[in-house]
Every structure is written in C-alpha cells, then in structure tokens.
Amino acid sequence: MTHSDTFARLLDTGIIPIMRISDAAKAAAVANALIAGNIPVLEISLSPPGSLALLEAIANTLGDTLLLGAGTVLDASTVRDATAAGARYIVAPNLDVAVIDECKRCGVPVFPGALTPTEIARAMQAGADAVKVFPCNAVGGPDYIRALLAPFPLARLFPCGGVNAANAAAYFAAGARAIFAGSSLINKRLIDEGRFDQITQQARSLAAAVAASRRIVP
C-alpha cells in the first residue's frame, strides 16, 4: 500500500483508535472488535513493554483488513523498527523533525503531536501529513480547532483528547479531518472484563456518528 493509499483510507474512515496494552491475546481481541465495529484502523502505542512485537503479530494476522499504525514514536530509529514490524503510519506525541524526515524516507504518513500555532506551523513546514492536536479538549475542543483553521486553512488537524461519539460531529463541523479516540472507545475496564462485544458496539456508535456528521458538513 502506498503512502497516498494509506492516508486516503485513514481520511475515509476518519477515526484512529489508540490502544495501550501489552497482552497479545487481548490486543488481538480489541483489533477484531474494532473491525467488527466498522473501524478497521488501530494505533498501537509503543509505550507499554513488548508493544513492537505485539504490533508485528497483529500486522501478520490482520494486516490485510486492519490499517495498523504505531504511536508514541519518539525517534527516527523507532520509525524504522515500527515500519519494519508492519506499521503503515506513525503517530508521535510531540514535534520532532527527525521523526518526520524518517517517515518520509520510509514512505509512511506521519502525524506529530502539536498544540500551539507555532508548533502546528513547524509541523506543516516539516512536511507532516496531518497534525495530532493534543490535548485538544483542555484548550477548547472543537472551538480550538475552528480557531486554528482561521490562520491555517490548509492544515489537516486530527484532534485527540476527550473525543467521543457525543462530540465527534462538533469536531468535524469545526473542520477536523479525522479524530483520535482513546479510552472512550478502547476502555481498560471493558478489556479486563473481556467485554469486547461492548467495544464493537461503541465502535459502531462512533463510526455512525462520524458518518452522519460528514453528511451534514460539506
């Protein structure tokens, strides 16, 4: 899959769920629950121990149906390791030009984390495909996205932090191109209780909310 194909699929889905667990069996169950819930996308955070091996295992089994990415990527060497393991896109919590440059060399989309106008401008200048605006809920939520797009109308902004089915439409109405979904979708309690069917149900609700909002927003 090319860089353009990957990015187009991400924009089409409009949702990037974030998973931070290290249990391989539970991770696979979450991945399948998302696919069943009409969100065939998953970002695996590399912060828990063993996450790179977990990413590779899921890529080997679900890589044809799941658009898998690596998150919490902090340096260029991790970009290389993650893409070798099967990550098709890279998400960082911060803005590091070396990470963006390595993603270009590896041919994968990259979404660095940024919050301020200065950081967002630097990310765009460095060639980021989109910007993960985090923590968006702490600085105004949809209103902050709308305010940022006034000086940066060409920016592709992906809000992260407090995004859920109840406010997804407001984010897209404000101009977000996609959203990140964390604990509101992949809830630790549901995972610990083995209630993966509930994750599927929540995924369907979020996917439906996003689809409905896009029918309203031009």
* Tens-place pLDDT, residues 142-169: 999 999 999 999 999 999 999 999 999 9
H/E element holding 69?
A: strand 67-71
Specify if 147 maps to a domain: yes
| Backbone angles phi and psi of 217, in degrees to 5 | -85, 125
- Confidence (pLDDT) at 213: 87
CATH value at residue 51: 3.20.20.70
H/E element holding 100?
A: helix 97-106
| Backbone angles phi and psi of 16, in degrees to 5 | -120, 100
Residue 125 identity = Q
- Confidence (pLDDT) at 218: 41
- Confidence (pLDDT) at 196: 97
pLDDT, tens only, 88-121: 999 999 999 999 999 999 999 999 999 999 999 9
Is the pLDDT assigned to residue 85 strictly greater than 80?
yes
Residue 48: both structure tokens together: 């828990």
* Greatest Cα pair distance in the chain: 46
Specify if 217 maps to a domain: no
Rounded CA separation 80/130 (Å)? 20
Tell me the residue range of the domain where 55 lies: 3-211
Rounded CA separation 1/179 (Å)? 22
Specify if 218 maps to a domain: no
Neighbours of 126 (CB within 10 A): 17
Active site positions, annotated: 43, 132
Q: What angle do CA 203, 209, 211 make, to 5 degrees?
A: 100
pLDDT class for 216, splitting at 50, 70, 90? low
Rounded CA separation 57/41 (Å)? 15
Number of domains in the chain: 1
Q: Which residues contact 216 (CB under 8 A, 6 or more apart)?
A: 169, 173
Specify if 121 maps to a domain: yes
Confidence (pTM): 0.95
